[in-house]
Amino acid sequence: MLLYHGSNVAVETPHLINQARGLDFGAGFYLTTSEEQAARFSEIALWRQRSGVATVGVYEFDMDAAEKALAVRKFDNADAEWLEFVVENRTKSYIGENYDMVIGAVANDRVMPTVLAYLNGFISEEAALITLKVSKLVDQICLKTEKTLSLLKFVKAYEVKKGQSE
């Protein structure tokens, strides 16, 4: 299957970076099945880094082989388990099982206010989940180990034209 990664540079050889900030599924190399989502993220990465060019990397990944050979955590919905997992990773308090790969919805700029409201005690878990059910969620795939990265094959990278991700 084809997967996409948005960045401010072409990433031909992906590697694991331990981020200072908490991410939805913890440290890892993040991809999506949505080319549009990757293009949007490339513009965010460009803004954060203040250098480079908004770029989408395209990769081939054998998901069937990965799911058979690796420890994979898959969230089919933005449910209570997903919410708790995201909150624990965002706050860097996750102490559960280690996975080679995590798949699920992305807590993007439309979803994050709900997650933060829950995290800060402004809304209940039930209210957060009701809000998330009506949100259009895009997927993300986090490759967390070198073993998983070895299954990813770079295909190409291209520059995102201004406004292309809208």
Exposure class string for 58-90: b at 16+ Cβ within 10 A, else e = bbebeeeebeeebebbebeebeeebbebbbebb
pTM for the complete prediction? 0.86
For residue 160, pLDDT over 90 is answered with yes
Question: 3-state DSSP call for residue 162?
Answer: coil
Question: 3-state DSSP call for residue 4?
Answer: strand
For residue 153, pLDDT over 90 is answered with yes
What average pLDDT does this structure show over 161-165?
66
Residue 50: which region, alpha, beta or left (left: phi > 0; alpha: psi -120 to 50)?
left
What average pLDDT does this structure show over 120-130?
88
For residue 9, pLDDT over 80 is answered with yes
C-alpha Rg value of the chain to the nearest Å = 16
Asked if 78 contacts 132 with a C-beta cutoff of 8 angstroms, the reply is yes
Q: What are phi and psi of 72, to 5 degrees?
A: -115, 130
Mean pLDDT for the chain overall: 89
pLDDT tens digits along 35-69: 999 999 899 889 988 999 999 999 999 999 999 99
pLDDT tens digits along 74-86: 999 888 898 889 8
Q: Report the percent of the chain where pLDDT is more than 90.
A: 56
pLDDT at 39: 94
